[in-house]
Structure 1
Amino acid sequence: DEREDEDEDEDEDEEDYSDVEEEDLGVEYVGFCGAKIHEEIPDHRKTNVPLHSSFYVYKKGRWDGAPVVVEEARLIFFTVPEIASTTFKQLFRRMMGFDDWHVSNSDMPHDPSTNGLRYLYDYDLEEAGNMLVSDDWVKAIFVRDPKERILDSYLTRVLGEEANFIRKKCCEDNGVCADKAMESFLGFMKVANACCNSHWMPQTWRMEGRFWPFVDFVGRIDNAADDAKRMLELVGKWNEYGESGWGENGDMPIFGSDYEDNLAQAYEVMADYYDDETEAFAESMYDKDYNNPYLGLDLVKVMKVDGGEEDSDRKLIRSTTTTTRTTTTTTTTTTNNGLGRSLESAKELIRSLVDERMDSYVN
Protein backbone atom coordinates (compact mmCIF):
# COMPACT_ATOMS: atom_id res chain seq x y z
CA ASP A 1 0.00 0.00 0.00
CA GLU A 2 1.01 3.61 -0.36
CA ARG A 3 2.19 6.37 1.91
CA GLU A 4 -0.74 8.44 3.20
CA ASP A 5 -0.96 11.71 5.07
CA GLU A 6 -4.14 13.11 6.56
CA ASP A 7 -5.39 16.64 6.04
CA GLU A 8 -4.81 18.72 9.16
CA ASP A 9 -8.38 20.00 8.95
CA GLU A 10 -9.65 16.47 9.35
CA ASP A 11 -8.65 16.46 13.01
CA GLU A 12 -11.50 18.84 13.75
CA ASP A 13 -14.03 16.26 12.60
CA GLU A 14 -12.51 13.12 14.06
CA GLU A 15 -13.32 12.40 17.67
CA ASP A 16 -10.45 12.09 20.16
CA TYR A 17 -10.75 9.43 22.84
CA SER A 18 -7.16 9.66 24.06
CA ASP A 19 -8.25 10.28 27.66
CA VAL A 20 -9.72 6.78 27.97
CA GLU A 21 -7.96 4.81 30.69
CA GLU A 22 -5.43 2.22 29.52
CA GLU A 23 -7.53 -0.75 30.57
CA ASP A 24 -10.50 0.74 28.76
CA LEU A 25 -8.82 0.96 25.34
CA GLY A 26 -10.81 -2.02 24.11
CA VAL A 27 -13.35 -3.33 21.67
CA GLU A 28 -16.31 -1.57 23.23
CA TYR A 29 -15.08 1.79 21.93
CA VAL A 30 -15.06 0.86 18.25
CA GLY A 31 -18.64 2.14 17.96
CA PHE A 32 -17.57 5.73 18.58
CA CYS A 33 -15.79 5.93 15.23
CA GLY A 34 -18.82 5.24 13.10
CA ALA A 35 -21.59 6.58 15.30
CA LYS A 36 -22.48 9.20 12.70
CA ILE A 37 -21.96 6.90 9.71
CA HIS A 38 -23.29 3.50 10.69
CA GLU A 39 -26.78 2.48 9.72
CA GLU A 40 -28.41 -0.79 8.77
CA ILE A 41 -27.35 -2.04 5.35
CA PRO A 42 -30.35 -3.02 3.18
CA ASP A 43 -30.27 -6.25 1.21
CA HIS A 44 -31.77 -4.53 -1.82
CA ARG A 45 -31.91 -1.16 -3.55
CA LYS A 46 -34.57 1.01 -1.99
CA THR A 47 -36.55 3.50 -4.04
CA ASN A 48 -36.34 6.40 -1.59
CA VAL A 49 -32.69 6.96 -0.65
CA PRO A 50 -32.17 10.56 0.47
CA LEU A 51 -28.74 12.17 0.74
CA HIS A 52 -28.28 14.67 3.56
CA SER A 53 -25.67 17.41 3.74
CA SER A 54 -24.32 15.96 7.00
CA PHE A 55 -23.56 12.56 5.48
CA TYR A 56 -19.99 11.27 5.38
CA VAL A 57 -20.16 10.78 1.59
CA TYR A 58 -20.96 14.47 1.13
CA LYS A 59 -18.59 15.91 3.71
CA LYS A 60 -16.09 18.50 2.55
CA GLY A 61 -12.59 18.73 4.02
CA ARG A 62 -11.75 15.07 4.51
CA TRP A 63 -9.23 13.59 2.13
CA ASP A 64 -11.25 10.40 1.78
CA GLY A 65 -14.77 11.40 2.76
CA ALA A 66 -16.77 12.25 -0.34
CA PRO A 67 -16.05 9.98 -3.32
CA VAL A 68 -14.13 11.17 -6.38
CA VAL A 69 -16.25 11.90 -9.46
CA VAL A 70 -14.76 11.38 -12.94
CA GLU A 71 -17.36 12.84 -15.28
CA GLU A 72 -15.67 11.67 -18.48
CA ALA A 73 -16.01 8.07 -17.35
CA ARG A 74 -19.31 8.45 -15.47
CA LEU A 75 -17.44 6.99 -12.52
CA ILE A 76 -17.92 7.63 -8.79
CA PHE A 77 -15.03 6.09 -6.86
CA PHE A 78 -14.75 5.69 -3.09
CA THR A 79 -11.07 5.91 -2.17
CA VAL A 80 -10.01 4.17 1.04
CA PRO A 81 -6.74 4.86 2.93
CA GLU A 82 -4.34 1.90 2.97
CA ILE A 83 -5.97 0.56 -0.20
CA ALA A 84 -3.85 2.12 -2.97
CA SER A 85 -5.63 5.45 -2.76
CA THR A 86 -2.50 7.24 -3.98
CA THR A 87 -2.45 5.23 -7.19
CA PHE A 88 -6.17 5.61 -7.78
CA LYS A 89 -6.05 9.37 -7.28
CA GLN A 90 -3.12 9.57 -9.68
CA LEU A 91 -5.21 7.59 -12.16
CA PHE A 92 -8.13 9.99 -11.84
CA ARG A 93 -5.87 13.03 -12.18
CA ARG A 94 -4.46 11.46 -15.33
CA MET A 95 -7.98 10.87 -16.65
CA MET A 96 -8.76 14.53 -15.99
CA GLY A 97 -5.78 15.66 -18.07
CA PHE A 98 -3.28 16.87 -15.46
CA ASP A 99 0.30 16.75 -16.77
CA ASP A 100 1.67 16.24 -13.26
CA TRP A 101 -0.69 13.35 -12.50
CA HIS A 102 2.19 11.11 -11.40
CA VAL A 103 3.41 13.49 -8.64
CA SER A 104 3.25 12.12 -5.09
CA ASN A 105 4.23 14.12 -2.01
CA SER A 106 2.75 15.20 1.32
CA ASP A 107 -0.20 16.91 -0.39
CA MET A 108 -0.47 15.43 -3.86
CA PRO A 109 -2.54 13.69 -4.97
CA HIS A 110 -4.54 13.57 -1.71
CA ASP A 111 -5.41 17.12 -0.74
CA PRO A 112 -8.74 18.10 -2.36
CA SER A 113 -7.79 21.77 -2.16
CA THR A 114 -4.84 21.26 -4.53
CA ASN A 115 -5.30 18.00 -6.47
CA GLY A 116 -7.88 19.35 -8.92
CA LEU A 117 -10.17 16.34 -8.56
CA ARG A 118 -13.93 16.66 -8.44
CA TYR A 119 -15.80 15.29 -5.44
CA LEU A 120 -19.43 14.52 -4.77
CA TYR A 121 -19.80 17.69 -2.69
CA ASP A 122 -18.97 19.74 -5.81
CA TYR A 123 -22.52 18.98 -6.97
CA ASP A 124 -25.64 20.34 -5.36
CA LEU A 125 -27.30 18.03 -2.86
CA GLU A 126 -30.16 16.89 -5.07
CA GLU A 127 -27.94 16.15 -8.06
CA ALA A 128 -25.38 14.34 -5.91
CA GLY A 129 -28.08 12.19 -4.37
CA ASN A 130 -29.41 11.25 -7.80
CA MET A 131 -25.91 10.36 -8.99
CA LEU A 132 -25.39 7.92 -6.12
CA VAL A 133 -28.45 5.87 -7.03
CA SER A 134 -28.46 6.28 -10.82
CA ASP A 135 -27.65 3.43 -13.20
CA ASP A 136 -26.01 6.04 -15.44
CA TRP A 137 -23.06 6.23 -13.05
CA VAL A 138 -20.70 3.38 -12.07
CA LYS A 139 -20.07 3.42 -8.32
CA ALA A 140 -16.84 1.60 -7.46
CA ILE A 141 -14.63 0.79 -4.50
CA PHE A 142 -11.62 -1.42 -3.78
CA VAL A 143 -11.48 -3.31 -0.49
CA ARG A 144 -8.89 -5.22 1.49
CA ASP A 145 -8.83 -7.85 4.19
CA PRO A 146 -9.07 -5.85 7.45
CA LYS A 147 -6.29 -7.85 9.12
CA GLU A 148 -3.90 -6.93 6.32
CA ARG A 149 -5.01 -3.31 6.32
CA ILE A 150 -4.59 -2.69 10.07
CA LEU A 151 -1.18 -4.38 10.03
CA ASP A 152 -0.10 -2.19 7.12
CA SER A 153 -1.14 0.83 9.18
CA TYR A 154 0.91 -0.42 12.13
CA LEU A 155 4.02 -1.07 10.02
CA THR A 156 3.84 2.44 8.57
CA ARG A 157 2.55 4.51 11.49
CA VAL A 158 4.39 2.87 14.37
CA LEU A 159 7.43 1.06 12.96
CA GLY A 160 7.91 3.02 9.77
CA GLU A 161 8.17 6.44 8.20
CA GLU A 162 5.14 7.91 9.96
CA ALA A 163 5.91 6.66 13.46
CA ASN A 164 4.43 9.75 15.14
CA PHE A 165 1.11 9.51 13.30
CA ILE A 166 -0.94 7.79 15.99
CA ARG A 167 0.70 9.84 18.76
CA LYS A 168 -0.26 13.04 16.95
CA LYS A 169 -3.73 12.02 15.78
CA CYS A 170 -4.91 10.00 18.77
CA CYS A 171 -2.80 10.47 21.89
CA GLU A 172 -1.56 14.07 21.91
CA ASP A 173 -0.04 14.52 25.39
CA ASN A 174 -1.47 11.31 26.81
CA GLY A 175 1.59 9.22 27.67
CA VAL A 176 -0.40 6.12 28.57
CA CYS A 177 -2.13 6.14 25.19
CA ALA A 178 1.10 6.69 23.25
CA ASP A 179 3.00 4.04 25.21
CA LYS A 180 0.18 1.58 24.63
CA ALA A 181 0.21 2.21 20.89
CA MET A 182 3.97 1.84 20.61
CA GLU A 183 4.49 -1.21 22.81
CA SER A 184 3.01 -3.86 20.50
CA PHE A 185 0.76 -4.54 17.55
CA LEU A 186 -2.08 -5.44 19.92
CA GLY A 187 -1.53 -2.21 21.86
CA PHE A 188 -1.68 -0.25 18.62
CA MET A 189 -4.95 -1.92 17.64
CA LYS A 190 -6.49 -1.12 21.01
CA VAL A 191 -5.63 2.56 20.68
CA ALA A 192 -6.68 2.63 17.02
CA ASN A 193 -9.94 0.98 18.01
CA ALA A 194 -10.67 3.88 20.36
CA CYS A 195 -9.51 6.62 17.97
CA CYS A 196 -11.60 7.55 14.97
CA ASN A 197 -9.37 7.77 11.90
CA SER A 198 -10.03 6.87 8.29
CA HIS A 199 -6.80 4.87 8.01
CA TRP A 200 -8.18 2.06 10.14
CA MET A 201 -11.90 2.56 10.64
CA PRO A 202 -14.01 -0.27 9.16
CA GLN A 203 -14.45 -0.13 5.41
CA THR A 204 -18.17 -0.61 5.97
CA TRP A 205 -18.24 2.95 7.31
CA ARG A 206 -16.83 4.31 4.05
CA MET A 207 -20.41 5.30 3.24
CA GLU A 208 -23.79 5.31 4.88
CA GLY A 209 -25.38 1.86 4.78
CA ARG A 210 -28.23 2.89 2.49
CA PHE A 211 -25.81 3.41 -0.42
CA TRP A 212 -24.04 0.03 -0.38
CA PRO A 213 -26.65 -1.70 -2.58
CA PHE A 214 -25.93 0.88 -5.28
CA VAL A 215 -22.20 0.08 -5.49
CA ASP A 216 -21.68 -1.51 -8.91
CA PHE A 217 -18.08 -2.66 -8.67
CA VAL A 218 -16.19 -4.01 -5.65
CA GLY A 219 -12.56 -4.83 -6.43
CA ARG A 220 -9.94 -6.49 -4.26
CA ILE A 221 -6.55 -4.87 -3.83
CA ASP A 222 -4.89 -8.29 -3.67
CA ASN A 223 -6.12 -8.73 -7.24
CA ALA A 224 -5.37 -5.13 -8.15
CA ALA A 225 -4.06 -5.54 -11.70
CA ASP A 226 -6.97 -7.63 -12.96
CA ASP A 227 -9.65 -5.78 -11.03
CA ALA A 228 -8.41 -2.32 -12.06
CA LYS A 229 -8.48 -3.50 -15.66
CA ARG A 230 -12.05 -4.77 -15.26
CA MET A 231 -13.16 -1.52 -13.70
CA LEU A 232 -11.56 0.62 -16.41
CA GLU A 233 -12.97 -1.62 -19.13
CA LEU A 234 -16.38 -1.20 -17.53
CA VAL A 235 -16.16 2.56 -18.06
CA GLY A 236 -14.36 2.29 -21.42
CA LYS A 237 -11.04 3.78 -20.27
CA TRP A 238 -8.61 0.86 -19.99
CA ASN A 239 -6.73 1.32 -23.29
CA GLU A 240 -6.33 5.04 -22.78
CA TYR A 241 -5.36 5.24 -19.11
CA GLY A 242 -4.67 1.79 -17.67
CA GLU A 243 -2.86 -0.31 -20.24
CA SER A 244 0.37 1.71 -20.25
CA GLY A 245 2.05 4.84 -18.91
CA TRP A 246 2.83 3.40 -15.48
CA GLY A 247 6.04 2.23 -13.84
CA GLU A 248 9.48 3.79 -13.78
CA ASN A 249 9.75 3.82 -17.57
CA GLY A 250 6.10 4.48 -18.32
CA ASP A 251 5.74 1.16 -20.11
CA MET A 252 3.75 -0.77 -17.52
CA PRO A 253 0.03 -1.14 -16.92
CA ILE A 254 -1.45 0.24 -13.72
CA PHE A 255 -0.57 -2.07 -10.82
CA GLY A 256 2.21 -3.84 -12.73
CA SER A 257 3.27 -7.37 -11.86
CA ASP A 258 5.67 -6.34 -9.09
CA TYR A 259 2.83 -4.69 -7.19
CA GLU A 260 0.99 -7.92 -6.51
CA ASP A 261 4.25 -9.77 -5.85
CA ASN A 262 5.02 -7.32 -3.05
CA LEU A 263 1.47 -7.58 -1.74
CA ALA A 264 1.82 -11.36 -1.63
CA GLN A 265 4.99 -10.97 0.41
CA ALA A 266 3.24 -8.50 2.69
CA TYR A 267 0.52 -11.06 3.38
CA GLU A 268 3.14 -13.50 4.53
CA VAL A 269 4.55 -10.97 7.00
CA MET A 270 1.28 -11.36 8.89
CA ALA A 271 2.75 -14.54 10.37
CA ASP A 272 5.03 -12.42 12.55
CA TYR A 273 2.27 -10.36 14.10
CA TYR A 274 -0.87 -12.42 14.43
CA ASP A 275 -1.32 -14.89 17.25
CA ASP A 276 -4.63 -16.11 18.64
CA GLU A 277 -5.12 -13.00 20.80
CA THR A 278 -4.31 -10.38 18.17
CA GLU A 279 -6.32 -12.21 15.54
CA ALA A 280 -9.38 -12.45 17.79
CA PHE A 281 -9.13 -8.73 18.57
CA ALA A 282 -8.87 -7.78 14.89
CA GLU A 283 -11.83 -9.97 13.98
CA SER A 284 -13.93 -8.34 16.69
CA MET A 285 -12.75 -4.87 15.71
CA TYR A 286 -13.75 -5.44 12.08
CA ASP A 287 -16.76 -7.69 12.47
CA LYS A 288 -18.87 -5.19 10.50
CA ASP A 289 -16.56 -5.57 7.50
CA TYR A 290 -16.65 -9.34 7.57
CA ASN A 291 -20.44 -9.28 7.89
CA ASN A 292 -21.07 -6.73 5.14
CA PRO A 293 -22.30 -8.81 2.17
CA TYR A 294 -21.38 -6.09 -0.30
CA LEU A 295 -17.70 -6.17 0.64
CA GLY A 296 -17.39 -9.89 -0.08
CA LEU A 297 -14.67 -10.37 2.55
CA ASP A 298 -14.12 -13.91 3.78
CA LEU A 299 -12.98 -14.35 7.37
CA VAL A 300 -9.57 -15.85 6.58
CA LYS A 301 -7.47 -17.30 9.38
CA VAL A 302 -3.73 -16.87 9.73
CA MET A 303 -2.98 -20.52 10.39
CA LYS A 304 -0.05 -22.17 12.12
CA VAL A 305 2.17 -24.45 10.08
CA ASP A 306 3.39 -27.64 11.74
CA GLY A 307 7.14 -28.05 11.67
CA GLY A 308 9.51 -25.73 9.84
CA GLU A 309 12.34 -23.65 11.20
CA GLU A 310 10.17 -22.00 13.84
CA ASP A 311 7.32 -23.53 15.80
CA SER A 312 5.53 -20.18 15.59
CA ASP A 313 5.58 -20.12 11.77
CA ARG A 314 2.16 -19.31 10.40
CA LYS A 315 0.70 -19.00 6.95
CA LEU A 316 -2.22 -17.15 5.47
CA ILE A 317 -4.65 -18.98 3.23
CA ARG A 318 -5.81 -16.34 0.78
CA SER A 319 -9.27 -16.06 -0.72
CA THR A 320 -9.80 -13.36 -3.33
CA THR A 321 -13.29 -12.29 -4.31
CA THR A 322 -14.14 -9.71 -6.95
CA THR A 323 -17.72 -8.61 -7.39
CA THR A 324 -19.24 -6.67 -10.25
CA ARG A 325 -22.88 -5.72 -9.82
CA THR A 326 -25.30 -4.43 -12.40
CA THR A 327 -29.04 -4.01 -12.22
CA THR A 328 -29.55 -7.52 -13.58
CA THR A 329 -26.49 -9.67 -12.81
CA THR A 330 -23.99 -10.42 -10.09
CA THR A 331 -20.70 -12.11 -10.93
CA THR A 332 -18.28 -13.40 -8.32
CA THR A 333 -14.88 -14.92 -8.99
CA THR A 334 -12.87 -16.66 -6.28
CA THR A 335 -9.29 -17.90 -6.31
CA ASN A 336 -7.27 -19.45 -3.51
CA ASN A 337 -3.62 -20.06 -2.84
CA GLY A 338 -1.45 -20.81 0.17
CA LEU A 339 1.41 -18.61 1.35
CA GLY A 340 4.09 -19.15 3.96
CA ARG A 341 7.50 -17.77 4.95
CA SER A 342 10.12 -17.99 7.68
CA LEU A 343 10.11 -15.44 10.45
CA GLU A 344 13.74 -14.53 9.85
CA SER A 345 13.20 -13.43 6.26
CA ALA A 346 9.92 -11.75 7.17
CA LYS A 347 11.69 -9.25 9.42
CA GLU A 348 13.96 -8.19 6.57
CA LEU A 349 10.96 -7.90 4.27
CA ILE A 350 9.10 -5.66 6.73
CA ARG A 351 11.91 -3.13 6.66
CA SER A 352 12.01 -3.12 2.86
CA LEU A 353 8.25 -2.80 2.53
CA VAL A 354 8.17 0.17 4.88
CA ASP A 355 10.95 1.88 2.89
CA GLU A 356 9.57 1.01 -0.53
CA ARG A 357 5.96 2.08 -0.45
CA MET A 358 3.71 1.36 -3.39
CA ASP A 359 4.30 4.82 -4.84
CA SER A 360 7.42 3.37 -6.48
CA TYR A 361 5.19 1.73 -9.07
CA VAL A 362 4.22 5.04 -10.58
CA ASN A 363 6.62 6.99 -12.77
Structure 2
Amino acid sequence: MKKGFVAESQIKNVKRWGDYQNNTNVSLVNKYIYFAVDKVANSTIKKHFFEMEYAPVNKAVLSLYDPRCSPLLSPYQLPYTPAELLIEGDFFKFAFVRNPYSRILSCYLDRVLTHTSRPSREFRKALNKSEFNFSDFVSVICRQKPKLQNSHWRIQSDDILFELIDFDFIGKFENLSEDLSFVHSKIFGTPFNADVLGGNFSPKKTSASEKIAEFYTQDLLDKVYDAYRKDFEFFGYEKIVL
Protein backbone atom coordinates (compact mmCIF):
# COMPACT_ATOMS: atom_id res chain seq x y z
CA MET A 1 0.00 0.00 0.00
CA LYS A 2 1.35 3.41 -0.98
CA LYS A 3 1.70 5.78 1.94
CA GLY A 4 1.21 9.45 1.27
CA PHE A 5 1.91 11.51 4.40
CA VAL A 6 3.51 11.36 7.81
CA ALA A 7 3.31 14.04 10.50
CA GLU A 8 5.10 14.57 13.79
CA SER A 9 1.88 13.78 15.65
CA GLN A 10 1.59 10.40 13.90
CA ILE A 11 5.13 9.49 14.91
CA LYS A 12 4.55 10.54 18.52
CA ASN A 13 1.42 8.42 18.61
CA VAL A 14 3.44 5.19 18.28
CA LYS A 15 6.92 5.97 19.62
CA ARG A 16 8.84 8.44 21.70
CA TRP A 17 10.12 11.47 19.81
CA GLY A 18 13.60 10.93 21.23
CA ASP A 19 13.64 7.36 19.91
CA TYR A 20 12.65 8.63 16.46
CA GLN A 21 15.60 11.03 16.56
CA ASN A 22 18.10 8.48 17.90
CA ASN A 23 17.15 5.55 15.67
CA THR A 24 16.56 7.30 12.33
CA ASN A 25 19.96 7.42 10.63
CA VAL A 26 20.30 9.55 7.50
CA SER A 27 23.13 9.68 4.97
CA LEU A 28 22.91 12.76 2.78
CA VAL A 29 25.94 11.71 0.75
CA ASN A 30 24.79 8.17 -0.06
CA LYS A 31 21.05 8.92 0.07
CA TYR A 32 19.71 6.33 2.49
CA ILE A 33 17.83 6.15 5.78
CA TYR A 34 18.51 3.28 8.15
CA PHE A 35 15.72 2.80 10.69
CA ALA A 36 17.59 1.06 13.49
CA VAL A 37 15.72 -1.42 15.68
CA ASP A 38 17.24 -2.28 19.03
CA LYS A 39 18.11 -5.96 19.57
CA VAL A 40 18.26 -6.59 15.80
CA ALA A 41 22.04 -6.70 15.15
CA ASN A 42 21.99 -2.93 15.39
CA SER A 43 25.61 -2.67 16.54
CA THR A 44 26.88 -4.85 13.68
CA ILE A 45 24.84 -3.00 11.06
CA LYS A 46 25.82 0.42 12.37
CA LYS A 47 29.49 -0.49 12.47
CA HIS A 48 29.39 -1.45 8.81
CA PHE A 49 27.67 1.72 7.66
CA PHE A 50 29.74 3.96 9.91
CA GLU A 51 32.89 2.50 8.38
CA MET A 52 31.51 2.92 4.87
CA GLU A 53 30.68 6.57 5.57
CA TYR A 54 34.13 7.23 7.04
CA ALA A 55 36.06 5.30 4.35
CA PRO A 56 36.61 8.28 1.97
CA VAL A 57 38.39 10.24 4.72
CA ASN A 58 39.99 7.24 6.45
CA LYS A 59 38.56 8.04 9.87
CA ALA A 60 37.99 5.52 12.65
CA VAL A 61 34.63 4.84 14.29
CA LEU A 62 34.76 6.44 17.73
CA SER A 63 31.56 4.99 19.21
CA LEU A 64 28.56 3.00 18.03
CA TYR A 65 26.45 4.09 20.98
CA ASP A 66 26.94 7.84 21.30
CA PRO A 67 24.85 9.64 18.63
CA ARG A 68 27.26 12.57 18.83
CA CYS A 69 29.91 10.35 17.26
CA SER A 70 27.75 9.14 14.38
CA PRO A 71 28.62 10.01 10.77
CA LEU A 72 24.91 9.61 10.02
CA LEU A 73 22.51 12.43 10.78
CA SER A 74 19.38 12.50 12.92
CA PRO A 75 16.18 14.18 11.69
CA TYR A 76 16.63 17.14 14.05
CA GLN A 77 19.87 18.01 12.24
CA LEU A 78 18.09 18.36 8.90
CA PRO A 79 15.86 21.16 7.58
CA TYR A 80 13.04 18.76 6.65
CA THR A 81 9.64 18.00 8.08
CA PRO A 82 8.93 14.29 8.68
CA ALA A 83 6.92 14.19 5.44
CA GLU A 84 9.71 15.85 3.44
CA LEU A 85 12.29 13.45 4.84
CA LEU A 86 10.39 10.17 5.02
CA ILE A 87 7.90 10.44 2.16
CA GLU A 88 9.05 13.06 -0.33
CA GLY A 89 12.80 12.65 0.08
CA ASP A 90 14.65 10.56 -2.49
CA PHE A 91 16.26 8.17 0.01
CA PHE A 92 16.68 4.39 0.02
CA LYS A 93 14.76 3.45 3.16
CA PHE A 94 15.50 0.20 4.94
CA ALA A 95 15.31 -1.56 8.30
CA PHE A 96 16.07 -4.96 9.79
CA VAL A 97 13.59 -6.91 11.91
CA ARG A 98 13.75 -10.04 14.06
CA ASN A 99 11.52 -12.85 15.23
CA PRO A 100 9.61 -11.26 18.15
CA TYR A 101 10.11 -14.32 20.38
CA SER A 102 13.91 -14.23 20.22
CA ARG A 103 14.12 -10.43 20.22
CA ILE A 104 12.11 -10.16 23.45
CA LEU A 105 14.15 -12.90 25.10
CA SER A 106 17.40 -11.28 23.98
CA CYS A 107 16.25 -7.99 25.47
CA TYR A 108 15.44 -9.71 28.76
CA LEU A 109 18.78 -11.51 28.97
CA ASP A 110 20.85 -8.54 27.86
CA ARG A 111 19.13 -5.38 29.06
CA VAL A 112 16.58 -6.25 31.72
CA LEU A 113 18.79 -8.54 33.78
CA THR A 114 21.45 -5.82 33.72
CA HIS A 115 19.92 -3.70 36.46
CA THR A 116 22.02 -0.63 35.68
CA SER A 117 20.61 -0.30 32.15
CA ARG A 118 17.87 2.18 31.30
CA PRO A 119 15.54 -0.52 29.88
CA SER A 120 15.87 -2.46 33.13
CA ARG A 121 15.07 0.61 35.21
CA GLU A 122 12.03 1.39 33.05
CA PHE A 123 10.76 -2.17 33.28
CA ARG A 124 11.19 -2.39 37.05
CA LYS A 125 9.39 0.95 37.47
CA ALA A 126 6.47 -0.38 35.41
CA LEU A 127 6.50 -3.67 37.35
CA ASN A 128 6.78 -1.91 40.70
CA LYS A 129 8.67 -4.68 42.45
CA SER A 130 12.32 -5.64 42.68
CA GLU A 131 12.13 -9.41 42.18
CA PHE A 132 10.96 -10.64 38.80
CA ASN A 133 11.33 -13.36 36.17
CA PHE A 134 10.82 -13.71 32.43
CA SER A 135 7.11 -14.29 32.84
CA ASP A 136 6.79 -10.96 34.68
CA PHE A 137 8.69 -9.23 31.91
CA VAL A 138 6.50 -10.63 29.13
CA SER A 139 3.31 -9.85 31.02
CA VAL A 140 4.28 -6.21 31.56
CA ILE A 141 5.53 -5.39 28.07
CA CYS A 142 2.57 -7.08 26.39
CA ARG A 143 0.21 -4.73 28.23
CA GLN A 144 2.06 -1.56 27.26
CA LYS A 145 1.08 0.65 24.36
CA PRO A 146 3.88 1.03 21.77
CA LYS A 147 4.53 4.70 22.56
CA LEU A 148 5.13 3.76 26.20
CA GLN A 149 7.37 0.78 25.39
CA ASN A 150 11.12 1.02 25.57
CA SER A 151 12.67 0.81 22.11
CA HIS A 152 14.33 -2.50 22.99
CA TRP A 153 10.97 -4.24 23.16
CA ARG A 154 8.70 -1.89 21.20
CA ILE A 155 6.59 -3.52 18.48
CA GLN A 156 8.92 -3.36 15.50
CA SER A 157 6.34 -2.32 12.93
CA ASP A 158 5.52 0.70 15.11
CA ASP A 159 9.15 1.41 15.87
CA ILE A 160 10.03 1.74 12.18
CA LEU A 161 6.72 3.44 11.28
CA PHE A 162 6.00 0.60 8.87
CA GLU A 163 2.37 1.57 8.36
CA LEU A 164 3.30 5.16 7.49
CA ILE A 165 6.35 4.77 5.25
CA ASP A 166 7.01 3.00 1.96
CA PHE A 167 10.16 0.99 2.63
CA ASP A 168 12.51 -0.04 -0.13
CA PHE A 169 13.72 -3.06 1.83
CA ILE A 170 13.08 -4.88 5.10
CA GLY A 171 15.89 -7.25 6.01
CA LYS A 172 15.82 -9.97 8.62
CA PHE A 173 18.14 -10.74 11.50
CA GLU A 174 17.84 -14.42 10.62
CA ASN A 175 19.15 -13.73 7.10
CA LEU A 176 21.59 -10.98 8.01
CA SER A 177 24.49 -11.82 5.68
CA GLU A 178 22.42 -12.05 2.51
CA ASP A 179 20.13 -9.13 3.33
CA LEU A 180 22.91 -6.79 4.44
CA SER A 181 24.80 -7.71 1.29
CA PHE A 182 21.79 -6.67 -0.78
CA VAL A 183 21.45 -3.32 1.00
CA HIS A 184 25.17 -2.63 0.71
CA SER A 185 25.22 -3.36 -3.02
CA LYS A 186 22.09 -1.26 -3.58
CA ILE A 187 23.57 1.77 -1.83
CA PHE A 188 27.26 1.59 -2.67
CA GLY A 189 27.28 -0.50 -5.86
CA THR A 190 30.27 -2.52 -4.66
CA PRO A 191 30.68 -6.14 -3.50
CA PHE A 192 29.88 -6.79 0.15
CA ASN A 193 32.65 -8.12 2.38
CA ALA A 194 30.99 -10.68 4.64
CA ASP A 195 33.95 -10.50 7.02
CA VAL A 196 32.20 -7.55 8.67
CA LEU A 197 29.84 -10.11 10.22
CA GLY A 198 32.68 -12.10 11.74
CA GLY A 199 32.58 -10.26 15.06
CA ASN A 200 29.81 -9.70 17.56
CA PHE A 201 29.72 -5.97 18.30
CA SER A 202 26.83 -6.03 20.72
CA PRO A 203 27.78 -5.31 24.35
CA LYS A 204 26.43 -8.74 25.30
CA LYS A 205 25.70 -11.80 23.16
CA THR A 206 22.64 -13.72 24.35
CA SER A 207 22.07 -16.56 21.81
CA ALA A 208 18.38 -16.02 22.49
CA SER A 209 17.22 -17.92 19.38
CA GLU A 210 18.59 -21.11 20.91
CA LYS A 211 16.91 -20.59 24.30
CA ILE A 212 13.25 -20.10 23.39
CA ALA A 213 12.14 -23.51 24.69
CA GLU A 214 14.09 -22.90 27.90
CA PHE A 215 12.29 -19.68 28.83
CA TYR A 216 8.90 -19.72 27.13
CA THR A 217 5.77 -21.58 28.15
CA GLN A 218 2.86 -21.86 25.71
CA ASP A 219 1.05 -19.16 27.66
CA LEU A 220 3.97 -16.76 27.23
CA LEU A 221 4.29 -17.62 23.54
CA ASP A 222 0.60 -16.86 23.09
CA LYS A 223 0.87 -13.55 24.95
CA VAL A 224 3.74 -12.42 22.73
CA TYR A 225 1.95 -13.50 19.57
CA ASP A 226 -1.22 -11.62 20.53
CA ALA A 227 0.57 -8.42 21.59
CA TYR A 228 3.08 -8.43 18.70
CA ARG A 229 0.72 -9.80 16.07
CA LYS A 230 1.54 -7.03 13.59
CA ASP A 231 5.20 -8.04 13.57
CA PHE A 232 4.33 -11.67 12.95
CA GLU A 233 1.93 -10.82 10.13
CA PHE A 234 3.81 -7.96 8.45
CA PHE A 235 7.20 -9.66 8.50
CA GLY A 236 6.21 -13.29 7.99
CA TYR A 237 7.10 -14.88 11.33
CA GLU A 238 5.25 -17.99 12.49
CA LYS A 239 3.45 -18.56 15.76
CA ILE A 240 5.13 -21.25 17.87
CA VAL A 241 3.02 -24.04 19.33
CA LEU A 242 4.81 -26.28 21.77
* TM-score when normalising by structure 1: 0.55
Match of 1:186 in 2: 135
Structure 2: distance between partners of 1:109 and 1:230: 22
Cα pair 1:58 1:120 within 8 Å, conserved: no
Which of 39, 46, 52 aligns to 2:8? It is: 52
Structure 2: distance between partners of 1:267 and 1:74: 33
Cα pair 1:177 1:191 within 8 Å, conserved: no
- Distance verdict in 2 for CA 1:59–1:270, change over 3 Å: closer
Spell out the pairing of 1:170-209 with structure 2 (5 A cutoff). Answer: 170-172=123-125, 176-179=128-131, 182=132, 184-193=133-142, 194=144, 196-208=149-161
Highest CA radius of gyration, 1 or 2? 1
Structure 1: distance between partners of 2:108 and 2:240: 19
Instruction: Report the AA paired with residue 221 of structure 1.
Output: F
Q: How many residues align?
A: 230
- Distance verdict in 2 for CA 1:86–1:227, change over 3 Å: same
Structure 2 unaligned residues grouped into runs of 5+: none
User: How far did 1:79 drift?
Assistant: 0.2
Match of 1:284 in 2: 226
Match of 1:256 in 2: 198
Instruction: Report the AA paired with residue 119 of structure 1.
Output: S
Instruction: Report the AA paired with residue 226 of structure 1.
Output: E
Q: Deviations over 1:204-260 (max 9, x none)?
A: 111445533x10101001111111001111112543xx41xxxxxxxx62223989x
- Distance verdict in 2 for CA 1:58–1:284, change over 3 Å: closer
Structure 2: distance between partners of 1:176 and 1:60: 25
Structure of greater relative contact order (alpha carbons < 8 Å, 6+ residues apart): 2
% identical aligned pairs: 23
Higher share in strand:
1
Structure 1: distance between partners of 2:152 and 2:138: 12
Match of 1:328 in 2: none
Cα pair 2:19 2:151 within 8 Å, conserved: no
Structure 2: distance between partners of 1:302 and 1:73: 43
- Distance verdict in 2 for CA 1:45–1:83, change over 3 Å: same
Structure 1 unaligned residues grouped into runs of 5+: 1-43, 244-251, 304-363
Aligned alpha-carbon RMSD (Å): 3.2
Instruction: Report the AA paired with residue 270 of structure 1.
Output: I
Structure 2: distance between partners of 1:60 and 1:266: 29
Which of 60, 66, 73 aligns to 1:100? It is: 60
